[in-house]
């Protein structure tokens, strides 16, 4: 038995109309359909994690906590972290925009291993189901960082179930990363040398290298943790000669590079949008692409900055601090280069650009506050407080989620063949920018004043700033619900899109919107570099 899938107004002969049964979607190997399957899944998880966030901010309106049970609150922030990290931030851009756009941008017909791609989606779904089961059974109460011996010997929540879900999700990540690396090496269109690839591809390449090398370490760490929890003995238990710091080292060895997995694709998206909406080639292309590589490499060397007050040696803290400053340099270079791209351009203010500009502002704030945390003397005061919470939300949410929305709006016409309503798009970008700052800026101050993180209740002097933050969160929530509404609306009523509505460069714009299943009827041949916009003086003087 098969069901007919509602066609969202697809053009005749595109990947959307090529098979209309449920089976044709669930057994597809077309990277474009898999991207949409993923888009549905990560949207669901975004709202699960977002609901948890809403409840967290609701609880923190009063000092004694609006939610009576501290245990419930603890499980809420754990599920918020687990779902947002592993089921939204890490997959988001690579599995949706990456899956859809990478082959198109390369001039290829699909990824190197299409069946592996489908398998990675199924792994993701199974992982998600396991974590949701854990959630409905009551969730885990350890924080998303699972520090031992709390998580191995003392926690009363569903640690093993949660950890199994994350373990499976890890394999989904590895499969995706492997696919991208091989595809970028092997399936570039004739004439597309490495230096002719758009920055988005370099960013996803760097992201994928981190995914395949770091995720297996997480897998082993979670395995050892699960063993310890099930059998009651293990390598992280000091009573037996084990070491709880070993867990932290192993965990952060993965989790620090993982945050660059989250942000690098965002950098790639912004690097596509700024040139397109400045009508100008990107400034310092070689610097930007090698910065992505540098970030990927150095990201493996800084994990210890999560442990400056954890009981490690003084000497190691010094080494990790200097390396953490070094990893910030390539990101700073990117920001300067994006601004350099805008210089002497012809700037348009469509929604993707507004999101991208918001990204630059919010990411810069987040990145600068990272410098506070890398400074050892300051970190002692600021770590484990709301300062850290604000820092990572600025880069992850202000940065990464803005970049995701930027890319979603930018490539929406290509993916769906529809134009979203521009005014609503701009409104959404503005509401998110304002709501975000209102929510998270007060948290920097709260952190400096000493409010610890992961606290269900807090001393009364922190109340006003918390109320401000929660108020901002309601605006932010509205900002996130808005695109859900108008993007869905556009699927049915949006104006139909041409092949290249933004008049941007890039092979993905040389094929219809939405593309046919095979992407390109004949293999494109590349003869020039990316971002081949005419020089501004030519545009000005020759129209």
Partner 1 sequence: MADASYLPHEFQYSSARHQAETAIAGMWLFLATEMLFFGALFLSWIYSRHWNQAGFDAGAQQTNLTIGTVNTAILLASSFVYSAGLAFIEIGNKRRLIQCCAVAWMLGFAFLILKFGVEWHGDFHKHLFPGSHFAITGPLSGGAQLFFIFYFVGTALHGLHMIGGLILVGWIILRARRDEFSPGYYTPVAAVGLYWSFVDVVWIVLYPLIYLVGRGP
Partner 2 sequence: MRLWLPEASTTAPEIDYLILALVLISCAVLALVFGLMLLYMFKYRAGSDVDRGALAEKTWRLETGWTVATLVAFFGLFLWGANLYVRLFQPPADALKIYIIAKQWMWKAEHAGGQREINAVHFPVGRPIQLVMTSEDVIHDFSVPAFRIKYDVLPGRYETVWFHSDRPGTYHLFCTQFCGTDHAHMVGDIVAMPQADYQKWLERNGTGETLAAAGKTLFMRYGCSGCHGGNGVGGNQSGSTVRAPPLAGLYGSPVTLTDGRVVTADDRYIRDCILMPDTQRVASYPPVMPSFSGQIGEEDLLDIISYIKSLAPEKPS
Please report how close the Cβ of residue 347 comes to partner 2 at its closest, in angstroms: 5
CB 305 within 8 A of CB 326: no
**Cβ of residue 11: shortest distance to partner 1, in angstroms?**
21
Q: Determine the interface stretch with partner 2 among 110-118, 176-184, 365-373, 402-410 (rule: CB under 8 A).
A: 365-373
Sign of the Cα torsion 408, 411, 415, 417 reads positive
Q: Which of partner 1, partner 2, none is residue 128 near (CB under 5 to 8 Å by kind)?
A: none
Pick from 21, 22, 238, 316 the residue near partner 2 by CB under 8 A. Answer: 238
Stretch binding partner 1 (CB under 8 A), from 117-125, 213-221, 351-359, 441-449? 213-221
- The residue within the footprint of partner 1, chosen from 18, 25, 132, 243 (CB under 8 A), is 243
CA distance 240 to 347: 63
C-alpha distances in angstroms, 234 versus 189, 226, 248, 423?
A: 51, 9, 15, 57
Q: Which among partner 1, partner 2, none contacts residue 66 (Cβ within 5 to 8 A by kind)?
A: none
* Cα(350)–Cα(281) distance, integer angstroms: 18
C-beta closer to partner 2: residue 88 or 308 = 308
Question: What span, in angstroms and rounded, lies between the C-alpha atoms of 259 and 252?
Answer: 10
353 interacts with partner 1 by CB under 8 A = no
Distance of alpha carbon 132 from alpha carbon 476, whole angstroms: 24
Q: Which of residues 284-303 bind partner 1 (CB under 8 A)?
A: none
Report how far residue 198's alpha carbon sits from residue 98's, in angstroms, rounded to the nearest whole number. Answer: 13
CB of 253 to partner 2, least distance (A): 18
Of 38-46, 47-55, 104-112, 145-153, the window that binds partner 1 (rule: CB under 8 A) is 104-112
Candidates 11, 182, 332, 419: give the one binding partner 2 (CB under 8 A): 332
* Residues numbered 264-323 forming contacts with partner 2, rule: CB under 8 A: 278-279, 283-284, 287, 308-311, 314, 317-318, 321-322
Is 361 one of the binding residues for partner 2 (CB under 8 A)?
yes
Tokens of 523: 């293999």
Cβ-contact 445, 385 below 8 angstroms: no
Size of the site for partner 2 (CB under 8 A): 93
User: What's the token pair of residue 221?
Assistant: 């760490």
Q: In the window 54-73, what residues touch partner 2 (CB under 8 A)?
A: 65, 70-71
Q: Is residue 372 part of the contact set for partner 2 (CB under 8 A)?
A: yes
Q: Does 448 bind partner 1 (CB under 8 A)?
A: no
Q: Which of 39, 29, 44, 40 is nearest to 98 (CA)?
A: 39
State yes or no: residue 379 binds partner 2 (CB under 8 A): yes
- Count of all residues that appear for the chain in the document: 543
CB 525 within 8 A of CB 191: yes
Told to check if 108 binds partner 1 by CB under 8 A, we report yes
Candidate residues 54, 224, 302, 408; the one interacting with partner 1 per rule CB under 8 A: 224
- Which residues on adjacent β-strands are paired with residue 4? 21
Q: Output 340 or 529, the one with its CB closest to partner 2.
A: 340
R_g of the chain computed on alpha carbons: 23
Contact 95, 119 (CB under 8 A): no
Q: Candidates 241-249, 324-332, 351-359, 442-450 — which segment interacts with partner 1 by CB under 8 A?
A: 241-249
Which residues pair with residue 385 across a beta bridge?
Answer: 452
> Quick one: which of 138, 216, 529, 536 contacts partner 1 (CB under 8 A)?
216
Q: Which is nearer to partner 2, 134 or 152 (CB)?
A: 152
Contact 140, 75 (CB under 8 A): yes
Kindly state the helix (H) or strand (E) to which residue 410 belongs, with its residue range.
Answer: helix 402-416
Q: Distances from the Cα of 197 to the Cαs of 114, 211, 268, 408, in angstroms?
A: 22, 21, 12, 20
CB of 372 to partner 2, least distance (A): 5
Task: Report what 187 binds from partner 2, partner 1, none; CB cut-off 5-8 Å by kind.
Answer: partner 1
Q: Considering the complex, state which of residue 68 and residue 233 has its C-beta at the smaller distance from partner 1.
A: 233
Site for partner 2 in 37-56 (CB under 8 A): none
Tokens 């599920």 found at? 79
CA distance 283 to 336: 9
User: Which pair of structure tokens corresponds to residue 47?
Assistant: 């709202």
118 binds partner 1, rule: CB under 8 A: no
Residue 40, token pair as written in the block: 């549905």
Q: Judged by CB under 8 A, does residue 212 bind partner 1?
A: yes
Mention every residue, 6+ apart, whose C-beta is less than 8 A from residue 131.
Answer: 82, 83, 86, 87, 161, 162, 165, 166, 169
SS3 labels along 23-70: HHHHCCCCHHHHHHHHHHHHHHHHHHHHHHHHHHHHHCCCCCCCCCCH
In the region spanning residues 147 to 176, those forming contacts with partner 1, defined by CB under 8 A, are: 174
Nearest distance in Å: CB 117, partner 1: 11
By CB under 8 A, what part of segment 187-206 binds partner 1?
187
For partner 1, the binding residues (CB under 8 A) are: 103, 108-114, 116, 174, 178, 181-182, 185-187, 212-217, 219-221, 223-224, 227, 231-235, 239-243, 246, 250, 253, 518, 523
């Amino acid at each position: 038995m098969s069901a007919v899938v509602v066609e969202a107004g697809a053009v005749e002969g595109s990947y959307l109309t090529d098979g209309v049964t449920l089976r044709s979607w669930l057994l597809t190997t077309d990277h474009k359909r898999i991207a949409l399957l993923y888009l549905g899944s990560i949207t669901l998880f975004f709202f699960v994690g977002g609901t948890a966030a809403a409840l967290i901010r609701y609880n923190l309106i009063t000092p004694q906590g609006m939610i009576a049970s501290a245990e419930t609150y603890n499980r809420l922030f754990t599920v918020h972290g687990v779902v947002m990290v592993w089921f939204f931030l890490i997959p988001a851009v690579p599995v949706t925009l990456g899956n859809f756009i990478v082959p198109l941008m390369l001039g290829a017909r699909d990824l190197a291993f299409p069946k592996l791609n489908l398998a990675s989606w199924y792994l993701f779904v199974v992982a998600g189901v396991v974590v949701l089961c854990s959630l409905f059974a009551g969730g885990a109460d350890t924080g998303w960082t699972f520090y031992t011996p709390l998580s191995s010997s003392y926690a009363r929540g569903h640690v093993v179930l949660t950890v199994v879900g994350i373990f499976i999700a890890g394999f989904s990540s590895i499969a995706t990363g492997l696919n991208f690396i091989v595809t970028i090496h092997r399936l570039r269109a004739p004439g597309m040398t490495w230096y002719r690839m758009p920055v988005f591809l370099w960013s996803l390449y760097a992201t994928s290298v981190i995914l395949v090398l770091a995720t297996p370490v997480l897998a082993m760490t979670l395995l050892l943790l699960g063993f310890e929890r099930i059998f009651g003995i293990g390598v992280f238990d000091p009573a037996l000669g084990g070491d709880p710091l070993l867990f932290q080292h192993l965990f952060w060895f993965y989790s620090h590079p993982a945050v660059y997995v989250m942000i690098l694709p965002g950098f790639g998206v912004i690097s596509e949008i700024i040139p397109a909406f400045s009508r100008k080639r990107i400034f310092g292309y070689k610097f930007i692409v090698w910065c992505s590589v540098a970030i990927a490499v150095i990201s493996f060397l800084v994990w210890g900055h999560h442990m400056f007050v954890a009981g490690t040696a003084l000497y190691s803290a010094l080494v990790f601090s200097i390396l953490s400053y070094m990893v910030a340099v390539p990101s700073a270079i990117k920001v300067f280069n994006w601004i350099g791209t805008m210089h002497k351009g012809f700037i348009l203010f469509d929604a993707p650009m507004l999101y991208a500009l918001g990204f630059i502002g919010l990411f810069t704030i987040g990145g600068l506050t990272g410098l506070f945390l890398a400074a050892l003397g300051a970190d002692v005061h600021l770590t484990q407080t709301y300062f850290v919470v604000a820092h990572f939300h600025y880069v992850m949410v202000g940065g990464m989620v803005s970049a995701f929305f930027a890319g979603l709006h930018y490539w929406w016409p290509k993916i769906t063949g529809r134009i979203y309503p521009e005014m609503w798009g701009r409104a959404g970008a503005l509401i998110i920018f304002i709501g975000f700052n209102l929510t998270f800026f007060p948290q920097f101050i709260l952190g400096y004043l000493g409010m610890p993180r992961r606290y269900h209740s807090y001393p009364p002097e922190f109340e006003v700033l918390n109320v401000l933050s929660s108020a901002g969160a309601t605006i932010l929530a509205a900002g996130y619900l808005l695109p859900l509404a108008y993007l869905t609306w556009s699927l049915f009523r949006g104006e139909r899109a041409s092949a290249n509505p933004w008049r941007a460069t890039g092979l993905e714009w040389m094929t219809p919107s939405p593309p046919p299943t095979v992407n390109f009827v004949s293999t494109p041949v590349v003869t020039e570099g990316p971002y081949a916009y005419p020089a501004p003086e030519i545009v000005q003087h020759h129209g």
